[in-house]
Every structure is written in C-alpha cells, then in structure tokens.
Amino acid sequence: MKPRCEAYECVDLAWLSRGGKFDDQTPRTWKYSGGGLEITAYPGPWAVELHAEGHIHRIVLSYTETRFGGRRPWFSCPHCQKRRRVLHYVQKSLACRACFDLRYTSEVEDALSRAARQRRRLMQKVGGSDPGGDFPLKPKGMHWKTYRAIEAKAQASLKAFALGVARMGPR
Ligand SMILES: [Zn+2]
C-alpha cells in the first residue's frame, strides 16, 4: 500500500496552469473532500506559496524549454529538489511521492523490526529461544498471571508485525 493521490491531498501544477497562465499572482484554492483541508496557492514566476493549515510552504519553480519554443513550469520538490508536476501534502509537509514513499517504507520497516525485537524479548522471558516458533509453555515457578501478561504482549507484537508486513505490500 503506497500513498496515492486519492488517499493523500496533493497539489498539481497542471491544475495551477489551467487556462494557460499560472504566474499571474491570482490565488487559487484547493478544497479537499473529507478532512475539510484547504490549500491556497499564490503563484509567482519563480515560486508558488502554498498556504495550508496556518503554514506557508514556498515551492521553488523551475522551467524547461518545450520543443515549440515555450517553457514548461515545474515544482521543485522541497525535499529532493527534483522536478515534479505533483506534490503531496502529508502530515503538514509537502514533498513528491517518491520522497513520501521512502519515508513511509522506512517507518514501516522500523515498526516491523521493533515488533520482532519485542517478541524475541518476551519469548526469552518465558524460556523460548525461537522467536518465530510457538509461544512456550508456562515455565515452572512462574505465576499464571505473569505468564498470561507476557503472552498477551507477545500476541500484540505478533499482530503489529503481521500488520507491518501487510502494509509493506509487494515490493
Ligand atoms: Zn522529492
């Protein structure tokens, strides 16, 4: 599952330049369905200011020549500086899809390894050695209450792990 334009708010330069002009400094407002978010764009020749949730994001523009002697504007991604037509707005920051995909993937990977480490630790507490194996039986001398609590935590971390794997999706 990857962030997509439908699931996350995005800003499309093609939309800004609808009607041929985009640097006439006429503000345009995007209204997104659902969350009630609005992004207002104040276009200028070298940068577009995007106002969202009380913050101003200044997006630098660059141009490439077209074959017919015109110029084509591009957003410069605030994160990787690459030329982009579409920027995504996720958790109050703007970046291109590739940048968000990278961050998203590493966050899921972090959650996965955290869950795996936690499960290993919990298994060791009850005498287990194989983190991928079955949950060990209650060790002699351990209170049932303690054992059940560890078992519940291990279940939760297994669930978190499975969820993380599901979110990673096909690579
Ligand atoms: Zn980027």
- In this structure, the answer to whether residues 77 and 107 fall within a common structural domain is no
Structural domain ending residue among the three candidates 95, 110, 142:
95
pLDDT attached to residue 17: 75
Contacts of 122 (CB under 8 A, 6+ apart): 150, 153, 154, 157
Strand, helix or coil for residue 15: helix
C-alpha 142 – ligand 1 centre gap (Å): 53
Full residue range of the structural domain in which residue 13 is found: 9-95
- In this structure, the answer to whether residues 71 and 146 fall within a common structural domain is no
Structural domain ending residue among the three candidates 95, 117, 139:
95
C-alpha 119 – ligand 1 centre gap (Å): 35
C-alpha 26 – ligand 1 centre gap (Å): 26
C-alpha 96 – ligand 1 centre gap (Å): 4
C-alpha 82 – ligand 1 centre gap (Å): 6
Q: How confident is the model at residue 34 (pLDDT cuts 50, 70, 90)?
A: low
Task: Answer whether residue 1 is part of any domain.
Answer: no
- In this structure, the answer to whether residues 69 and 142 fall within a common structural domain is no
Task: Answer whether residue 4 is part of any domain.
Answer: no
C-alpha 60 – ligand 1 centre gap (Å): 13
C-alpha 67 – ligand 1 centre gap (Å): 26
pLDDT in tens, 63-112: 999 888 888 889 999 999 999 999 988 878 899 988 888 777 777 778 78
Structural domain ending residue among the three candidates 95, 122, 146:
95
| Count of residues making up the chain | 171
pLDDT in tens, 108-152: 778 788 888 888 888 889 988 776 677 888 999 999 999 999 989
pLDDT attached to residue 75: 94
Distance separating alpha carbons of residues 98 and 82, to the nearest angstrom: 10
- Radius of gyration (C-alpha) of the chain in whole angstroms: 24
C-alpha 74 – ligand 1 centre gap (Å): 12
pLDDT attached to residue 2: 43
C-alpha 34 – ligand 1 centre gap (Å): 25
C-alpha 57 – ligand 1 centre gap (Å): 14
- In this structure, the answer to whether residues 91 and 13 fall within a common structural domain is yes
**Domain total in the chain:** 2
Task: Answer whether residue 3 is part of any domain.
Answer: no
DSSP state of 77: P
